[in-house]
Each structure stands twice: as structure tokens, then as C-alpha cells.
């Protein structure tokens, strides 16, 4: 049975799952969901996920949402011996911590920043948002002090979540090679993955274009208000 994923390319969590699916070479049917409007209410999504969130995975009778839960499920079911989520308890604890770092700090920061640009006509991050982003970059830099990847020497499911989130933050507030050189190299290393362009960059480009359009519109509105 082919997997089915309710998916939106501009969403970092959705891109994290697409990275995992490509890394595992799994066949999947993508069901595009427009999260910026209420059109998704006309799809099957509200019937199977009471939170109406993407990504949502359908694997036979199994229905799973939250990108972190989905990626762990995919590896454990379809590649249980893969180093993406090793069996060692300590290694898993480190990976889980990084996943919680993404869900607890990075994604809320992204959400607040993107919502401000897309729906509140803000052209730049406010001071509070800038401080939050810089703190995230500083933590990530420390995580990478002795490792090439976010949770160790090998690529793991934590990287799929963190690279999709960090690349999104980097688009909003660029990473500096002076203050966080290890983080800069991490993002460059991530781009070398053979499936990165398809799984992450294409959706990131779509989000970037959408934000640029909103910023331009906000600038025009400000100019018109000044003229009035």
C-alpha cells in the first residue's frame, strides 16, 4: 500500500517529512493542502486529524500527525536498523532532545515570524523575534561544536527537522559565518544531500516568494498611507 501524506510545501515540518521519505526511498502520494485558506476543510484532512494540521501521514489504518512523530515512525517501521534513529538509548535521547528543540523553540519562532510577514504586514522582524532567532542560532552552533550533524557524527531524523527549520530561519534572518561558522557549514552540508533540492529547497523557495510578495505589498501600503 502506498503511503499518503497531507502536505504543504511551504511548511517546514512538511518538508522535514519529505526529507525523510526521500532518504528512505519510500513511495508516497502527496495530497496538497492549502494551509493559507480554509479550502483544506473540503478535503479528507479534518475527518482524520481533529487538529487539522499538516503533515498528516496515512499508512493503511495508521494515521499519524506531527512531523517528529511521523519521521520516527517511518524509520522504525521501514528501516529499523538505519542510523537515522539508532537503537542506542543515549543516542536516541540526544536525537529526541534536538527534536524537542525544534518543536519547542525553532518552529514557534518560525511560525510567529512568518505569520507576522504574511498576515500582519510586517516587513522586518521585531526586536523580540530577532533575539529569539539569534538565541536559536547560538544553541545550534553549540550543538555542532564537535559534530558534523545536529545530533552526532551521522545524519539522523533530528537533522531533517532542524535543517528544514534552520534553512527557513536563514531565509528570514541570514546566518552569519562570523558569529556561527559551524551552523553556516551545517546548512551548506545539508544542501549537498542528493534529495535536498527536491525535498526542502523547492518549498523554501515557494515560501520565500510568498513572503517577498507580502513585504512588497506592505511597502506599497505604507507609501500610500504616507501619500494620503
Domains of the chain: 3-78 (3.40.30.10), 89-208 (1.20.1050.10)
Mean pLDDT of the chain: 92
Give the tens place of pLDDT for each residue, 29-80.
999 999 888 888 888 999 999 999 999 999 999 999 999 999 999 999 999 8
Q: ∠ CA 38-39-40 to the nearest 5 degrees?
A: 90
- Name the 3-class secondary structure at 133: helix
What distances in angstroms separate CA 8 from CA 18, 109, 117, 143, one per listed residue? 10, 19, 18, 29
Integer Cα distance of 45 and 43 in angstroms? 5
**Segment 112-121 mean pLDDT:** 85
Band of pLDDT at residue 125, cut at 50, 70 and 90: confident
Cβ atoms within 10 Å, residue 41: 9
Res 217 pLDDT > 80? no
Strand order in the sheet with 56-59: 28-32, 3-7, 56-59, 62-65
**Segment 205-217 mean pLDDT:** 88
Integer Cα distance of 56 and 7 in angstroms? 7
Residue 78 class from Cβ within 10 Å (0-12 exposed, 13-18 middle, 19+ buried)?
A: middle
Fill in the DSSP letter of residue 37. S
- Helices 107-119 and 12-23 meet at what angle, rounded to 10? 130
**Segment 81-92 mean pLDDT:** 94
Give the tens place of pLDDT for each residue, 136-146.
999 999 999 99
What distances in angstroms separate CA 201 from CA 87, 112, 173, 193, one per listed residue? 30, 21, 16, 11
**127-148: b or e for each residue (b if 16 or more CB lie within 10 Å)?**
eebeebbeebbebbbebbeeee
Res 227 pLDDT > 60? no
Q: Specify whether the CB–CB gap between 55 and 11 falls below 8 A.
A: yes
Grid coordinates given for 5: 501524506
Of residues 120 and 77, more confidence is placed in 77
Amino acid at each position: 500500500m502506498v503511503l499518503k501524506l497531507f502536505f504543504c510545501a511551504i511548511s517546514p515540518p512538511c518538508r522535514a517529512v519529505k526529507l525523510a521519505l526521500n532518504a528512505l526511498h519510500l513511495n508516497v502520494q502527496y495530497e496538497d493542502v492549502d494551509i493559507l485558506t480554509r479550502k483544506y476543510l473540503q478535503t479528507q484532512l479534518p475527518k482524520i486529524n481533529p487538529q487539522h494540521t499538516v503533515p498528516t501521514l496515512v499508512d493503511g489504518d495508521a494515521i499519524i500527525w506531527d512531523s517528529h512523530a511521523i519521521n520516527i515512525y517511518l524509520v522504525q517501521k521501514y528501516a529499523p536498523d538505519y542510523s537515522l534513529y539508532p537503537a542506542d538509548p543515549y543516542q536516541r535521547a540526544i536525537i529526541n532532545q534536538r527534536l524537542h528543540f525544534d518543536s519547542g523553540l525553532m518552529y514557534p519562532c518560525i511560525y510567529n515570524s512568518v505569520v507576522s510577514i504574511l498576515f500582519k504586514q510586517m516587513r522586518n522582524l521585531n526586536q523580540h523575534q530577532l533575539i529569539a532567532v539569534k538565541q536559536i542560532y547560538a544553541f545550534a552552533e553549540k550543538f555542532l561544536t564537535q559534530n558534523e550533524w545536529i545530533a552526532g557524527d551521522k545524519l539522523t531524523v533530528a537533522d531533517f527537522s532542524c535543517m528544514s527549520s534552520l534553512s527557513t530561519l536563514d531565509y528570514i534572518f541570514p546566518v552569519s559565518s562570523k558569529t556561527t561558522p559551524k551552523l553556516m557549514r551545517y546548512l551548506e552540508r545539508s544542501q549537498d544531500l542528493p534529495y535536498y533540492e527536491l525535498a526542502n529547497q523547492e518549498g523554501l523557495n515557494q515560501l520565500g516568494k510568498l513572503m517577498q510578495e507580502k513585504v512588497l505589498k506592505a511597502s506599497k501600503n505604507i507609501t500610500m498611507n504616507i501619500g494620503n
